[in-house]
Structure 1
Amino acid sequence: MKLAILDDYFDTLRTLPCFSKLEGQEVTVFNDRAESTDELVERLQDFDAVVLFRERTKVTKELLDRLPKLKLISQRSGYPHVDMEACTANGVLLCSNMHAGTPSYAAAEHTLALILASARQIPAQMASLREGAWQMGVGKTLRGRTLGLYGYGRIGGAVAGYAKALGMKVVYWASETSRERARQDGETVAESREAFFSGCDVVSLHLRLVPTTRGIVTENDLAAMKPGSIFVNTSRAGLIREGALLEGLNAGRPGFAAIDVFDKEPVTDPGDPLVNHPNMVATPHIGFVTEDEFELQFSDIFDQVVAYADGKPINMINPEVCEG
């Protein structure tokens, strides 16, 4: 089977133990990013299967309609970047292990890193030191402050554990069902949505991006936050109404933000106003970018490729493709 692996920017996958699972397949690894549909079509037209590197490449109807040889897309986790209707219409099977039982500890650790970096002004303090100006301001201690987690899932739970170890109080907000589950688990749930945003020193998003959660955080939510609060997003940019975060920072509520995700990725404009905001700590979607996390994720992804090649596909999102 001819297999293409897209967007492995640093040619990391060949170095992982799990890469040996692809022995016997005809594998081509692309390290650069295809910037247009035409370029993707030219690149992928002779392949039977494609491995996606998270959401670095969008799989659109236009692309799928022009790839008649393609039969399999293998990836891990959610798939808001994949046109599922077009996959099914074109006979392309999507296999994706949703890893229901395991959090991304890499993403949870990165969330904590962003909170610490923002609270202690680490990027700005580093810049001041390099400019010969020594200290540039006064940070905040996290112990005794309140972390609000929007969403009651695996990654948020890992972040909660780290925060509690630092002496922070943890409060949740989520869907009604998830709030009830949190209460049953003995966790603290905010009395209301407004109380959640207005009462927390740090608010961190941990939700899947689906149609019902797109734009779930509004201008009014951010405006309710404390002037000195920190808003954190390592989940998906689409959870926030477009433009609302920059507007909120300019208005001083929240006081600071720390993000790893953007509305349009990659961000390549060095003058991007959100990246360059003085009260922002930003990283280029690296929450999942560790060797350890890659080994976990791509072990599953390559298992799906091998299973398909053996005629026994697993983790099928649109199994009707195989039933037709």
Structure 2
Amino acid sequence: MSIGKVVTTENNEISQDGAFVRQTNRFDTPFGNEPGLLPIESGRYRLIWAAICPWAHRQMIAIKLLGLEDVISVGKVSPIRTPHGWEFSLDPNGVDPVLGIRYLPEIYAKTDPEYSGRATVPTVVDVKTGKVVNNDYFRLTNYWETVFKPFHKAGAPDLYPEHLRTEIDELNDVIFHEVNNGVYKAGFARTQKAYEDAYHLVFNQLDKLEQRLSQSRYLFGDKITDSDIRLYVTLARFDVAYYSAFNTNRNRIIDYPNLWGYARDLYQIPAFGDTTDFDAIKKGYFLGNNAHNPYDILPLGPDTSNWKTPHNRDKQFSSVN
């Protein structure tokens, strides 16, 4: 069924029935060794990310788990998106030291002067050409996991094992539409029906994932996969931001015994926890350009020290590990 023409503004993409419709990715050429693909080279690419953004966060988790920190250079923008777009205000003089830009849209304009969409994170820039080559957040972790394998550190986990790829892809699609992007559908809805539809979509799926995680330590047994990275980034943002900022307030993640234990289990792995900045997440969602917060009130809670408490999932599932 058609959802109607999409009305695009600087801040959102809304259909005529009030539903949020995320813009498509403009730069989606795959990485690979075949002609026409983005060549696999160490030191050639720069990943731009923001600590607020779940799509960007999962790139950093994968890169750290796989040991690609010296292969892919990283630039970081402020979590508070400005009316001019993502800003490199965290860097000296407010300029990315490699790209020499203040705002991310500058390099999108250089790459394609006709581009009229939002400049998004994650963005991968070819430092040889100084142009954007990929902002396909949905597939990007899969490239780090597969074609960049020659650069993986010794003992790196297989996050995208061949025998599970069909199942992982199917679950990733559900996680994206019903959880990752589901919270945005609720938060950016412009009609009651669109909001309620998204609200139920999110919590119906969280209920299913709660049940699934009562049976195994991770989504696919006792080994972390790409799917765990994708689910984690939403769980990490849920109680501190989505619950109140996006009105997804039937339950908190802390109210789900298995999801909460699972989230803490992952958080206590350095690649997950060290890249999770709860303060930046709150600032981005409550003070950013898309926030519905005219007085810029930054919530004090919730207390996030409980993310370091024992999860006991290693013991709970020790008999099957």
What TM-score, normalized to structure 1?
0.27
| Structure with the higher fraction of residues in helix conformation | 2
| Structure with the higher fraction of residues in strand conformation | 1
Q: Quick check: which has more Rg, 1 or 2?
A: 1
